[in-house]
Amino acid sequence: MKTFDVPRFYKSPFITRVKEARRVADPRKRDLSPTVLDFGPVRFKLARHFGFCYGVENAIDIAYRAVEENPGKRVFLLSEMIHNPHVNADLNARGVQFLRTTKGEEIIPLETLRPDDVVIIPAFGATLEVMARLREQGVDPLTYNTTCPFVEKVWKKSEQIGGKGYTVVVHGKRYHEETRATFSHAKEDAPVVVVRDLEEAHLLGDVIRGRRDAAFFFQTFADRYSEGFDPVRDLQRIGVVNQTTMLATETQAIADHLRAVMVEVYGDEAVGTHFADTSDTLCYATNENQNATLALIESGGDLAVVVGGYNSSNTSHLVELCERVMPTYFVSSADEIVSPTLIRHFDFEDKELLLTEDWMPEKRPFDIVLTAGASCPDALLDEVVRKLVGWLPNSRQVEDVVDEVVLAG
């Protein structure tokens, strides 16, 4: 696999070592069991897969290269390159300016761009409309295009099935950058509708069955269908693609349900004509991280700490999995862990920061389940572990524990 030039300060003196030791011992990634870091009074159970994925490393490599190769020029990011505040803040400190917010709100008008400006396309991609506007300003949007290859794979599949007469059903959050871009690309070749979750897929299934009428469709899926969409005509043949950071199991459940609806309406023998196979659009990294988190949870723990950007979709789904079975704290960095008795953490459902007292168990030893989103640098987990271990008397040295784990393979 291609390697990328990721700045050293994003790496960790020990987390990266542990990940590399697991990679060498299990190159086929068959063992999803967590790595146990036993410090005595606390044991960290570290997920088999977490942190920077291929697409994120690719984006970071390109973005930092854009800064280095263009001294004296204005360098812009279309929006946040990835959903991690530390990465985006560092780029901002190096002079990179943001043209838009993650919601698509304009910060700097595109009309003010000049042909010699540099614009970096984020890992989530960009809409065709924005790409066209950049070209109108004389800016080549493909020179530093960090769009994730797995996002582009979803676009290609949408184009492929759209060309065969299928409507594209996107499992995603309609105004997430990636879904906005996927919607824009897909509508060039097919009718498109976005469903947020399995509950909405059931409602769409009712429209396909004829249990709900067109008026219900237009009201329920307002702002989430392409121009000229006709639910009677356009829901006879469909294929499901995904926002790559959604729960992979939910994407599969949505596809399975809608396929079953097509079997019910058209019969098993005709289902291939009415439902396209799009299972190859699931992102490998999202799948790996979620499966590793499920194995992590199964191993047991007293609490979970999940590290990542608060607007990171893939990280929020790891939090969602952990919250089902144990107290879970979603933090952006070690700074949020105020003391052994106080932690500041994010509630991704209500979009607010919470303060929780007495969050650390009194019993010794206790187990912390630890993982991170795909846009989270290893260095942030390093800081979390060192901070917590530093508060607990009689803890073993970090380097000694890591040496033990690495030697054990």
Which residues participate in catalysis according to the annotation?
178
Interstrand relation of 328-331 and 303-307 (parallel, antiparallel or unpaired): parallel
Bridge pairing between strands 144-145 and 118-121:
parallel
Q: Please compute Rg for the chain using Cα positions.
A: 23
Q: Using alpha carbons, select from 273, 239, 253 the residue that is nearest to residue 170.
A: 239
CB 352 within 8 A of CB 327: no
Strands ordered across the beta sheet of 337-339: 337-339, 342-347, 352-357
Is residue 172 within 8 Å of residue 179, measured between CB atoms?
A: yes
Total residue length of the chain: 409
* Pairwise CA distance, residues 181 & 395, whole Å: 48
> Alpha-carbon distance 101 to 107, whole Å?
7
Long-range pairs, 57-61, Cβ under 8 A, ≥24: 57/4, 57/6, 58/2, 58/4, 58/123, 58/146, 58/148, 58/149, 59/122, 59/123, 59/146, 59/148, 60/4, 60/6, 60/7, 60/10, 60/87, 61/4, 61/5, 61/6
- C-alpha span between 210 and 74 (Å, rounded): 55
